[in-house]
Chain A
Amino acid sequence: MSSSTPKEGADPGRELAGSRALVTGAAGFIGGRLVERLAESEVEVRAFVHRLSRASRIAVYPLELIDGDVRDAGTVVRAAEDCDLIFHCAYGTGGSQRLRSKVNVEGTANVLDAARKHEVSRVVHLSSLVVYGHTEDGDLDESAPRRSMGDAYSSSKLAAERRALRAADRGLPVAVLQPTTVYGPFGGVWTANVLQSLASGRVILVDGGQGLANPVYVDDLVEAMLLAAVRPGAVGEAFLISSAEEVTWRELYEGFAELLELEDRTVEMTEDEAISHFRRQRWKGPGLISRGLSLLRKDEDLRDRLLATREGRLVRWAGSTLIPQSWQPRIKSWLKALAGKGGTKESGSSAGSELPIHPTPPGMVRFLSARTRVRIDKARRVLGFEPRYDFEAGMARTGAWARWAGMAPSEEERPPGWEPPWDRD
């Protein structure tokens, strides 16, 4: 068996066939893949989505769509009615940090209350590795102390997980999963954003990129979620979910750069250098943006692809709302120049050394430098979880998606596609 072929395993989806499941965050990256697996396993899916416009991926199935906000207790209670299972994947992705924290904490409380009210037979709560705070080098398992990293995301994920486990102590059948760096088709933070960072600039490799990334391919995480829904021993327990393969951040970023067919997109820095680079760059937003944009101008195809993405639109939106008004005319004029066809097609001209270096926030610098080996012994033992995708296999599939989604160059795009007959052989 080649390493790019997933390993075989029993399908926990079969055990769930015929049941009804509520999935929150169903239009998201992980929720979306989970919905696919559930629907294919003949589970009746009720998909709770925050933005209907993002539901086209899951609407290929005949499922029930609920357009709502998990902070709205009444909607969550109605959504959970007659459900056997709840998979809680929703978390705050937009708005202020305060709002996102509320989505994480209140949303989880509402889901747990609804589960209690309707006597749901299992709740699978999606937590995160961040509940362990900044981790040390060496092995990490579920016995490690929980602590916040000091930011709103990790604090609220920790508060949400505590509520879930407390509910389990009081008899609600809740299982908690703590995934690591999740990547794969339709992924945002550790997929599309990585591709975009590499395409538009250089990425810092803290301490030479020797920290451990602990990646997990989305299908493996979804498999673990299904196992957590069916295995009796999962109740009241939390499980770290990773591929359990030693992959460094250097290998991870290089893997993504390879998908883009780009070289020299990383810069090595020590932790201190990375932190002072961040502090220096912090107030140079427009300068950095302008350099990135001017390089993008030279590569029209790449620019069009990037600006057409959701993230590209986010950048434009961020430009119009977050950047001081006095800078906005300049930014608008750059964007206007981009919208025109003024650029020359010199994709090879974006030599890595000219590109801006994306600043890495200090909290992230610590996360990237740790050589933490996430252990999945508990998930193996209790859930029977076994990752099917090593990094090579996961990236092969991620690359296939990125090319399909227009985020990485594909065979089809490379030749101009048309030659006049007098130039043909």
Chain B
Amino acid sequence: MPTDPKNPTSPSLPLAVVGAGAVAVEHHLPALGASPRTHAEALVDLDLERARTVGEKFGIPRTAERVEEVIDSVDGAIVALPNHLHAPVAIDLMERGLHVLVEKPMARTVSECEAMIGASRETGVVLAVGLEFRFLPGFRAVADLLRSGALGTLESVDLQQGVDLFWPLASDYLFRKDQAGGGVLMDFGSHVLDLLLWWLGDLELLSYEDDARGGVEANCEIELRAASGAPVRVELGRNRNLRNTCRFRGNRALLEVDVWSWSPTIQLTFGGAGTWVEGRGEAGSGQPAELREAFVAEIEEFLTAIAEDRPARISGEEGARHIRLIEKCYASRRRLVFPWLEGSPVETDR
């Protein structure tokens, strides 16, 4: 069994990765390979053939269709399944005594999140939520800048994220409401609302509009208010190109950060005479930060929480905050009407 070279007496913690989909292959398994403190002992997927192929590629000792088959050989699990399976699978694993790192979004609803938090409390295992954006140096820098007071009084926040989806999706689960739990708000919105809650504290929902017509929304617009009273506007889109930045306007400076980059550009503008500073979120090495490093940091934090027997930094409670907001959005949803459809048969007939 591999051991941590820095601490040879402490064996590497064996984890199971549940779900052999894209996020596991692209991010979790390579990140596990980079950590001396842990390793993927087992890969579980209902599609055993896929589990075997992926397992072979990453040199994973065990592959299985069901978690029960490998339960005795691991101490924790990373749950990287479609959203609708997060809660039932994570709860089952926690009840079996495994620590769980669950992919974002933690679950589709607040009640699912609460059941997960309850299971973690009852069993005493660590429940961590995989919101890896919080581990990117650029986004940490934004949190630090906002706390430093460099902007003066915050006057408004405006976040736009929109790209034409163009990568080859392996399945249609992201477009299935029952499985994904929602559209762009549940998907990329999960990241950006988590960032905003982290950066700004609690947010009050003023209004929410999206273009869903019984399926999953491709576009949405959210009006919020920060505890300081500053208005916060969020626009998300899956079939149009938006600015892909978040702008924080203070009475002393404007802060603008790229939200569609692992190594985001951060620009801080003071006054009107072109006084500005610009930097990028970089890793400790001075190289542009990579998403891989964020996944590694996320796993390291999970392991530290287990070792120190403390709640994870992004615990179930923390991961549920933006789900609470998303649920409020969906509950108060109004129909987003596109300007080119106003008055057309589609918009007036019903």
Chain A residues with CB under 8 Å of chain B are: 5-6, 11, 13, 36-37, 39-41, 51-63, 65, 67, 184-186, 219, 223, 305, 308-310, 313, 397-398, 400-401, 403-407, 417-423
Whether A305 touches B215, Cβ cut-off 8 Å, given contacts A417-B247, A422-B271, is no
Q: Could you tell me if B213 and A11 are in contact, using CB atoms closer than 8 angstroms?
A: no
Q: Could you tell me if A305 and B241 are in contact, using CB atoms closer than 8 angstroms?
A: yes
Q: Could you tell me if B349 and A6 are in contact, using CB atoms closer than 8 angstroms?
A: no
Write out the residue numbers on chain B whose beta carbons fall within 8 Å of the beta carbon of A398.
340
Name which of B54-62, B65-73, B167-175, B196-204 contacts chain A. B167-175
Q: Could you tell me if A401 and B338 are in contact, using CB atoms closer than 8 angstroms?
A: yes
Give the one of A36, A223, A406 with max B CB within 10 A.
Answer: A406
Write out the residue numbers on chain A whose beta carbons fall within 8 Å of the beta carbon of B270.
420
Tell me if B249 is interfacial: C-beta within 8 Å of chain A: yes
Kindly report which residue of chain A lies nearest to residue B167, judged by CB atoms.
Answer: A53
Q: Could you tell me if A310 and B166 are in contact, using CB atoms closer than 8 angstroms?
A: yes
Q: Which of B245-262 contact A (CB under 8 A)?
A: 247, 249, 251, 254
Q: Could you tell me if A400 and B215 are in contact, using CB atoms closer than 8 angstroms?
A: no
In the assembled complex, 19 residue pairs joining A and B whose CB atoms fall closer than 8 Å, in A order, are A6-B345, A37-B346, A39-B213, A40-B346, A53-B169, A55-B175, A56-B239, A57-B239, A62-B177, A63-B215, A308-B164, A309-B164, A309-B241, A398-B340, A404-B240, A404-B338, A405-B240, A417-B247, A422-B271
Q: Could you tell me if B163 and A60 are in contact, using CB atoms closer than 8 angstroms?
A: no
Write out the residue numbers on chain B whose beta carbons fall within 8 Å of the beta carbon of A52.
168-169, 171-172, 175
Contact of A62 among B164, B215, B238 (CB under 8 A): B215
> A417–B175 Cα gap in the complex (Å)?
34
How close is A57's CB to chain B, nearest CB, in angstroms?
A: 5
Tell me if B284 is interfacial: C-beta within 8 Å of chain A: no
> A397–B337 Cα gap in the complex (Å)?
13
How close is A253's CB to chain B, nearest CB, in angstroms?
A: 20
Tell me if B344 is interfacial: C-beta within 8 Å of chain A: yes
> A406–B162 Cα gap in the complex (Å)?
10
Kindly report which residue of chain A lies nearest to residue B349, judged by CB atoms.
Answer: A11
Write out the residue numbers on chain A whose beta carbons fall within 8 Å of the beta carbon of B218.
56-57, 59-60
Q: Could you tell me if B175 and A56 are in contact, using CB atoms closer than 8 angstroms?
A: yes
Whether A422 touches B183, Cβ cut-off 8 Å, given contacts A40-B346, A309-B241, is no
Q: Could you tell me if A60 and B166 are in contact, using CB atoms closer than 8 angstroms?
A: no
Write out the residue numbers on chain A whose beta carbons fall within 8 Å of the beta carbon of B216.
59-60
Whether A421 touches B251, Cβ cut-off 8 Å, given contacts A36-B346, A54-B165, A406-B240, is yes
Q: Could you tell me if B172 and A55 are in contact, using CB atoms closer than 8 angstroms?
A: yes
What total of chain B residues lie within 8 Å of the partner, measured CB to CB? 45
Write out the residue numbers on chain A whose beta carbons fall within 8 Å of the beta carbon of B215.
58-63
Write out the residue numbers on chain B whose beta carbons fall within 8 Å of the beta carbon of A397.
339-341, 344
Chain B residues with CB under 8 Å of chain A are: 162-169, 171-172, 175, 177, 183-184, 211-218, 238-242, 247, 249, 251, 254, 269-272, 338-341, 343-346, 349-350
> A60–B218 Cα gap in the complex (Å)?
6
Q: Could you tell me if A59 and B183 are in contact, using CB atoms closer than 8 angstroms?
A: yes
Q: Return the 6 tightest CB-CB contacts between A and B, nearest first.
A: A59-B175, A400-B339, A56-B238, A397-B340, A62-B214, A406-B241
> A124–B212 Cα gap in the complex (Å)?
27
Give the one of A313, A398, A404 with max B CB within 10 A.
Answer: A404
Whether A420 touches B272, Cβ cut-off 8 Å, given contacts A52-B172, A55-B175, A310-B164, is yes
Write out the residue numbers on chain B whose beta carbons fall within 8 Å of the beta carbon of A13.
345, 349
Q: Could you tell me if A5 and B213 are in contact, using CB atoms closer than 8 angstroms?
A: no
Contact of B339 among A41, A56, A404 (CB under 8 A): A404
Write out the residue numbers on chain B whose beta carbons fall within 8 Å of the beta carbon of A53.
165-169
Write out the residue numbers on chain B whose beta carbons fall within 8 Å of the beta carbon of A5.
343
Write out the residue numbers on chain A whose beta carbons fall within 8 Å of the beta carbon of B169.
52-53
Q: Could you tell me if A313 and B166 are in contact, using CB atoms closer than 8 angstroms?
A: yes
Q: Could you tell me if A185 and B340 are in contact, using CB atoms closer than 8 angstroms?
A: yes
Q: Could you tell me if A308 and B339 are in contact, using CB atoms closer than 8 angstroms?
A: no
How close is A302's CB to chain B, nearest CB, in angstroms?
A: 12
Write out the residue numbers on chain B whose beta carbons fall within 8 Å of the beta carbon of A310.
164, 166
Write out the residue numbers on chain B whose beta carbons fall within 8 Å of the beta carbon of A308.
163-164, 241
Write out the residue numbers on chain B whose beta carbons fall within 8 Å of the beta carbon of A186.
239
Write out the residue numbers on chain B whose beta carbons fall within 8 Å of the beta carbon of A6.
343-345
Give the one of A11, A40, A58, A403 with max B CB within 10 A.
Answer: A40
Write out the residue numbers on chain A whose beta carbons fall within 8 Å of the beta carbon of B271.
420, 422
Q: Could you tell me if B217 and A60 are in contact, using CB atoms closer than 8 angstroms?
A: yes
Write out the residue numbers on chain B whose beta carbons fall within 8 Å of the beta carbon of A421.
251
